[in-house]
């Protein structure tokens, strides 16, 4: 039953890969068809070579009707032409040219299939990640998603393409049995010992390889986790003088990972050698009993050796591709788990913004994964022209209240009304186009300052941009930069402080022309005096809008119309 379950899982994964490949699956199937033709030509070449050999050496290996099958000429003509080799060379040359041509076409198509399918999978995984509910997205680890998009999708695609192309081994096996039958019908019995060896050997060896591979992957993840930990805590490592300790830890994990990978890759490289050596041993036993009991002629056994010799590379390649495919089956399901996510059906990229004049929270409760309540019975109301201040300790739920408003999460119970209408009845993009949200940590792209300001308003000109910068007291700083407002920030340009980056994010938000503005700890890294002036400028600039602030520093927002304190998910005043 366990074995049947594994077969079922493999078939399911193949079906999922078929779905994820999209329209490009047709390229792969055509490549497989060309590969099939290539195998057919290879079989005919093998068949023809045996025919020529049997004719030249006057050994009755094949029935006469088959001996001239490939070349479609008289056997005597073959024997008379062997002396100069011209006729045989011509026909073999044509066959080899056809095989080389089909090999190239199949390889070229498989390259196209791999890249097209990989691009399709990556694009759709990213699309699904961006279009699903943020609450579902938040449960996906960022490192896991990055691993799926960058590495696993590539491994899965390559293994699937190679697996499909290797399915021609089934046809080649049937061709092999046919050739052996034509040599001597009784000779097909010799296939049985090879099958009795190969099937259990393949199963057990592949299982052992998967175990070692799993250990290698686990060690690699541990190594990457340690590296990520070091890279994100370099400052603390220097302060605590634990450089040597961390280097030793990395060295030990890297060596363990390397040794396990060496062992795994050695096992993979050893498999074809073992198959060939044991095949020779089995053939030796067959030959011994054949000679002892006069079962088969020497010429028939020589033909069998020749057939097996030309077949071995295909078997080894198919075996390797099958191992790789089985190895990445768990990765296939991880990729498909993202690919198959349901997109948010509230999106409408052509949606217009609305003028929000009233927002009501009615008995809102919320929890993550139906665990402890984060919000419990929240009732709030915001109106046009009001400045609202919400404070509370870290983790109290104040940011969650605002995340619900922009549909990052959905409440467990209760409702949020916008202009008297349940916010779920609005397309998601209507809310996004109508509400400007500036979080505490805003990651700005590595583009010019002007283009950063234009992210919320594409029609913004330089004069308007400088007016926005003046509101957050960044105008003089920007003017004095070498390239002014066209200066690039980030890795390829100037580095701003955390407070300056927050001020740029605020300026960009102010230029959006929306009707509701949320500043969630958006001034936390700005000096206290400067923060007070900026808050005053914001309120004056957005005097007819809904403005919502959250902060730990209540004193810096002396002018507000409403204030709420959140503690343990409840409003305390």
User: How many other C-beta atoms lie within 10 A of the C-beta of residue 393?
Assistant: 12
Q: What is the 3-state secondary structure (H, E, C) of 446-483?
A: CCEHHHHHCCCCCCCCHHHHHHHHHHCCCHHHHHCCCC
Residue 470: HSE in the Cβ half-sphere, 13 Å Cα cutoff:
7
What the block records as the tokens of 370 is: 């139906």
Q: Which class for 408: exposed (0-12), middle (13-18), buried (19 or more C-beta within 10 A)? A: middle
**115, 24 in Cβ contact below 8 A?**
no
Maximum CA extent, the chain: 109
What the block records as the tokens of 9 is: 């899982």
Q: Which residue has the higher pLDDT, 348 or 572?
A: 572
* φ and ψ at residue 465, rounded to 5 degrees: -65, -45
**519, 548 in Cβ contact below 8 A?**
yes
User: How many other C-beta atoms lie within 10 A of the C-beta of residue 72?
Assistant: 7
What the block records as the tokens of 510 is: 């102010």
Q: Look at residue 45 and tell me whether its pLDDT is greater than 80.
A: no
**389, 551 in Cβ contact below 8 A?**
yes
Query: Residue 358: its pLDDT value, please?
Result: 92
Residue range 431-438: average pLDDT?
88
Adjacent-strand bridge partners of 415: 362
Element spanning 136, H or E: helix 134-138
Mean pLDDT, rounded, of the chain: 79
What the block records as the tokens of 96 is: 């080899």
Q: Look at residue 70 and tell me whether its pLDDT is greater than 70.
A: no
**405, 359 in Cβ contact below 8 A?**
yes
- Please give the Cα distance from 193 to 291 (Å, whole number): 17
- Please give the Cα distance from 457 to 454 (Å, whole number): 5
* φ and ψ at residue 421, rounded to 5 degrees: -120, 135
Q: Which of 179-188, 304-313, 530-539 has the highest mean pLDDT?
A: 530-539
DSSP character at residue 72:
T
* Residue percentage of the chain with pLDDT more than 90: 6
Residue range 288-307: average pLDDT?
69
Q: Look at residue 143 and tell me whether its pLDDT is greater than 60.
A: no
* pLDDT band at residue 517 using 50, 70 and 90 as cut-offs: very high
Q: Which of 295-309, 436-450, 470-484 has the highest mean pLDDT?
A: 470-484
Give pTM, 2 decimals.
Answer: 0.67
Residue in this structure with the two tokens 């997109």, named with its chain if needed: 343
User: Nearest to residue 356, comparing CAs of 570, 515, 503, 177?
Assistant: 515
* pLDDT band at residue 223 using 50, 70 and 90 as cut-offs: confident
Distances (CA, A) of 242 to 233, 234, 469: 11, 10, 43
- Can you say whether the dihedral through the CA atoms of 279, 285, 291, 294 is positive or negative? negative
User: Nearest to residue 442, comparing CAs of 515, 541, 519?
Assistant: 519
Residue in this structure with the two tokens 């949020």, named with its chain if needed: 416
Query: Residue 61: its pLDDT value, please?
Result: 45
- Please give the Cα distance from 359 to 422 (Å, whole number): 10
Q: Look at residue 190 and tell me whether its pLDDT is greater than 60.
A: yes
User: Nearest to residue 405, comparing CAs of 384, 378, 435?
Assistant: 435
Model confidence pLDDT, tens digit, residues 239-270 = 777 888 888 888 888 898 899 889 988 888 88
- Please give the Cα distance from 340 to 438 (Å, whole number): 31
- Please give the Cα distance from 42 to 180 (Å, whole number): 15
DSSP 77-117: HHHHHTTT-HHHHHHHHHHHHHHHHHHHHHHHHHHHHHHHH
Strand order in the sheet with 435-438: 435-438, 516-520, 546-550, 387-392, 562-567, 570-571
**154, 38 in Cβ contact below 8 A?**
no
Residue range 320-345: average pLDDT?
76
Q: Which residue has the higher pLDDT, 44 or 101?
A: 101
Query: Residue 518: its pLDDT value, please?
Result: 92
Residue range 181-205: average pLDDT?
74
Q: Which class for 303: exposed (0-12), middle (13-18), buried (19 or more C-beta within 10 A)? A: buried
Distances (CA, A) of 168 to 13, 33, 113, 401: 19, 9, 17, 59
Residue range 172-200: average pLDDT?
72
Model confidence pLDDT, tens digit, residues 272-292 = 788 778 877 877 787 777 777
CA triple 234-240-246, angle to 5 deg: 60
DSSP 244-255: HHHHHHHHHHHH
Query: Residue 5: its pLDDT value, please?
Result: 74
- Please give the Cα distance from 290 to 227 (Å, whole number): 61
* pLDDT band at residue 74 using 50, 70 and 90 as cut-offs: very low
- Please give the Cα distance from 446 to 442 (Å, whole number): 13
Q: Which residue has the higher pLDDT, 208 or 87?
A: 208
Query: Residue 184: its pLDDT value, please?
Result: 67
What angle do helix axes 462-471 and 498-510 make, rounded to 10 degrees?
A: 120
* pLDDT band at residue 67 using 50, 70 and 90 as cut-offs: very low
User: How many other C-beta atoms lie within 10 A of the C-beta of residue 565?
Assistant: 16
* pLDDT band at residue 390 using 50, 70 and 90 as cut-offs: confident
**39, 173 in Cβ contact below 8 A?**
no
Q: Look at residue 173 and tell me whether its pLDDT is greater than 80.
A: no
User: Nearest to residue 51, comparing CAs of 67, 40, 65?
Assistant: 67
What the block records as the tokens of 260 is: 């396990």
- Please give the Cα distance from 154 to 480 (Å, whole number): 47
Q: Look at residue 462 and tell me whether its pLDDT is greater than 60.
A: yes
Q: Look at residue 76 and tell me whether its pLDDT is greater than 60.
A: no
User: Nearest to residue 505, comparing CAs of 482, 480, 544, 471?
Assistant: 471
Q: Which residue has the higher pLDDT, 177 or 380?
A: 380
User: Nearest to residue 339, comparing CAs of 178, 148, 111?
Assistant: 148
Q: % helix / strand / coil in the chain, to the nearest 5? A: 65, 10, 25
* pLDDT band at residue 547 using 50, 70 and 90 as cut-offs: very high
User: Nearest to residue 172, comparing CAs of 32, 62, 36?
Assistant: 36
């Amino acid at each position: 039953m366990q074995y049947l379950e594994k077969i079922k899982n493999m078939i399911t994964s193949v079906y999922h890969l078929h779905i994820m490949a999209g329209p490009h699956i047709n390229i792969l199937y055509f490549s497989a068809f060309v590969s099939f033709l290539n195998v057919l030509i290879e079989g005919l070449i093998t068949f023809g070579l045996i025919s020529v050999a049997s004719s030249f050496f006057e050994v009755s290996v094949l029935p006469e009707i088959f001996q001239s099958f490939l070349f479609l000429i008289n056997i005597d003509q073959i024997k008379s032409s062997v002396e100069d080799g011209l006729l045989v060379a011509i026909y073999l040359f044509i066959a080899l040219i056809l095989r080389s041509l089909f090999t190239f076409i199949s390889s070229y198509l498989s390259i196209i299939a791999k890249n097209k399918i990989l691009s399709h999978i990556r694009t759709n995984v990213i699309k699904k990640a961006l279009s699903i509910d943020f609450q579902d997205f938040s449960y996906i680890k960022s490192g896991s998603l990055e691993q799926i998009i960058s590495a696993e999708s590539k491994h899965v695609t390559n293994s699937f393409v190679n697996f499909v192309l290797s399915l021609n081994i089934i046809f080649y096996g049937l061709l092999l049995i046919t050739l052996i039958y034509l040599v001597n019908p009784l000779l097909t019995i010799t296939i049985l010992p090879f099958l009795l060896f190969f099937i259990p050997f393949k199963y057990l060896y592949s299982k052992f390889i998967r175990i070692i591979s799993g250990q290698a992957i686990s060690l690699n993840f541990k190594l990457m986790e340690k590296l990520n930990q070091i890279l994100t805590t370099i400052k603390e490592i220097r302060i605590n003088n634990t450089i040597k300790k961390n280097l030793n830890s990395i060295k030990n994990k890297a060596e363990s990972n390397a040794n396990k990978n060496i062992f795994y890759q050695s096992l993979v490289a050893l498999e074809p050698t073992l198959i060939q050596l044991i095949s020779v041993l089995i053939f030796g036993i067959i030959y011994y009993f054949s000679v002892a009991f006069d079962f088969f002629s020497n010429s028939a056994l020589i033909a069998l050796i020749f057939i097996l010799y030309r077949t071995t590379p295909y078997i080894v390649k198919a075996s390797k591709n099958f191992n790789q495919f089985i190895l990445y089956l768990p990765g296939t399901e991880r990729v498909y788990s993202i690919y198959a996510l349901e997109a948010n059906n509230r999106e409408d990229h052509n949606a217009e913004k609305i003028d929000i004049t009233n927002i009501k929270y009615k008995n809102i409760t919320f929890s993550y994964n139906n665990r402890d309540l984060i919000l419990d019975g929240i009732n709030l109301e915001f109106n046009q022209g009001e400045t609202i201040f919400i404070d509370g300790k870290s983790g109290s739920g104040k940011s969650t209240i605002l995340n619900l408003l922009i549909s990052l999460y959905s409440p467990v119970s209760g409702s949020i009304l916008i202009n008297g209408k349940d916010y779920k009845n609005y397309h998601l993009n209507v809310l996004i186009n109508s509400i400007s949200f500036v979080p505490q940590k805003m990651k700005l792209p590595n583009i010019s300052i002007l283009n950063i300001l234009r992210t919320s308003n594409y029609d913004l000109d330089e004069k308007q941009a400088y007016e926005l910068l003046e509101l957050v007291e960044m105008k003089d700083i920007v003017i004095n930069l070498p390239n002014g407002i066209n200066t690039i920030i980030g890795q390829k340009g100037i580095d701003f402080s955390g407070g300056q980056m927050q001020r740029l994010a605020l300026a960009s938000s102010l230029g959006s022309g929306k009707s509701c503005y949320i500043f969630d700890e958006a001034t936390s890294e700005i000096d206290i005096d400067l923060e007070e002036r900026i808050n005053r400028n914001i309120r004056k600039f957005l005097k007819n809008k809904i403005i919502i602030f959250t902060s730990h520093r209540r004193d810096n927002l002396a002018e507000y119309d409403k204030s709420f304190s959140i503690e343990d998910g409840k409003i305390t005043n």
